[in-house]
Amino acid sequence: MINCSEKCLYEEDGICTLKEVGKASDTPTKDCPYFKNKEKEEG
């Protein structure tokens, strides 16, 4: 379980719900290569 407070598609209640760690996001942050914007998903 990973705590995360990014506004990320995978973030839920402060926790990263990303299960599949595969292809890295097109919009990574410095902390996470899998970051995906929750508000406006790209790609």
Query: Which of 14, 18, 41, 43 touches ligand SF4 by CB under 6 A?
Result: 18
6 sits near ligand SF4 (criterion: CB under 6 A): yes
CA distance 30 to 39: 19
Residue 39 C-alpha from the chain's centroid: 12
Nearer to ligand SF4, 2 or 26 (CB): 2
CB atoms within 10 A of CB 28: 12
Which residues of this protein are in contact with ligand SF4, per CB under 6 A?
Answer: 2, 4, 6, 8, 10-11, 16, 18, 32, 34-35
